[in-house]
Structure 1
Amino acid sequence: MQVERGQGASRSTGRAGIRRLVPLGLLVAGAMLLAGCSAAAGGAAQFGAAGPAPGGPWVIDSGAEAPPAGQRQKIVTIGDSIMSGNGLDTEEAWPAVLARADDWQLTNLSEDGSGFVQPGDDGRTFSEQVAQVIDDGHGDADAPALIIVSASSNDLGLDPGKVEHAAKKAFLALHRAFPDTALVGLSAIWGDQDTPPELGGINDAVRSAAEAEGARWIDLGEPLAGRFDLMQFDDTHPTAAGQRVLATAVDERLRSMFDAADSSAVF
């Protein structure tokens, strides 16, 4: 199982190490108790199969050419292993959950271990993902309605100035290739434990780069904070339920950003 490069080193003594000392029976009982409490409270525990969201499928009004009748709007996601759904089936990753519920056609280019500066497990950074979507998007009819680019904890420990420079190049290239496409930058997703202060510097660098090219910015916060029940046993990557929580959070921000009629979707 792959581990985020930026996260693995800084979290090796975190909750994952503690869990190994807890008897299995207590873990199961605790998980059942948490699930029961969450279900009683409603909210993010309303997990189910990823079908149409309660808010219903909706159209992104970005200025990109509308798809032909009967075809879905195209969205593209660029990011790391949180976005790719590491440890899960690809259809369980939050971009796939979001696209199915909102009736969009998804191209998820995210790669494990990658960042704007940090090469991923395949030796590539986000710049190669950007190049791929540009190569695939020939002509106005093929332009995506929306491209989401996520900041990544994989860039932790690297110079934020270099991260910002690489991010500016990425957003500039996307803006030039797709001037009518909605570009959205997304803050890095950490997990259930306390967020390292350095991650704020990474988010600030990517936000500055995004806004310099007219892209919108979503500060997602930390939807998984304190929810170790939504983390896989590597304590880095969300479970399928955790991915649905992320899909809900992103959908709410997008609906609000684009003035969609209903922003209360829960997957």
Structure 2
Amino acid sequence: MNQKSRIDEKRAEVVIVASAFGADAIRRDGHAAWAAVAARAGADGFEVRRELFADDADSQPDALAQLGARIRAHGLWAVHSTPATLFRDDGALDLDSLRLAIDEAAAMDARIVKLQLGGTERGVATDPATLDRLMSAIAASKARVVVENGQLKAGGTIGAFDALFAALPARSGLAMTFDTGNWHWAEQDPLDAAQRLAPHVAYVHCKAVMGEGARRFAAAPANGDARFATLLAQLPGDVPRGIEYPFIPGADGSLDADAARQVARIAAF
């Protein structure tokens, strides 16, 4: 039995985002080495970050297939995350970026493929022709396609997501990654976002935010963080929760103990 099976089957699945182990460590050792640590920590899934590949060879189909196989060998399922945006800076659909992300996720046999929303501060194109092209591309994806709220006003406002999902039919195939912390960078109210966008959320990125302005940084939610608990309560309880804040090394320099502790905490919130 995998270590994660010891935990209550009814809890939300927990994903460890590769960057929680540190960008330098992932680039140095590769994702697969840290997927093993995620498995020991009791995680259900592991989020691969395309921007942390050491070189272009890591994004080739054979390399992605090998990475996906190694993640599955640890009893985990994969998320493929790309920094690419679904919509370009002018608000138009970036069909090439979407298709590339879908193809890479397929090579890895990922369960979820995640892009940033992108677009302009006013939002993204929602005309029927654009939405038809979007849905046709998504229909070819085996992985669940999700878009995440980013840290900029372009691609990070509640209104942009609201308008896009309002324009799409209920079974469009597109869902949302709700990042609990990024709303602060974009000067949006996370609780308002949760109340308005919860029906579209298929994946949650969990983090608290410390500091102000340009000095903000991601951190673990504090014990008894009522605001964070209230926010999660507004979101679907049966969707995976990703840990996207840095783990704290133990006395021996290892991240294993904190990773296991944070998996249990995020599952229990």
With the shorter chain as reference, the TM-score category is 0.3 to 0.5
Normalising by structure 1, report the TM-score.
0.39
Normalising by structure 2, report the TM-score.
0.39
- Higher strand proportion: 2
Higher relative contact order (CA 8 A, sep 6+): 1
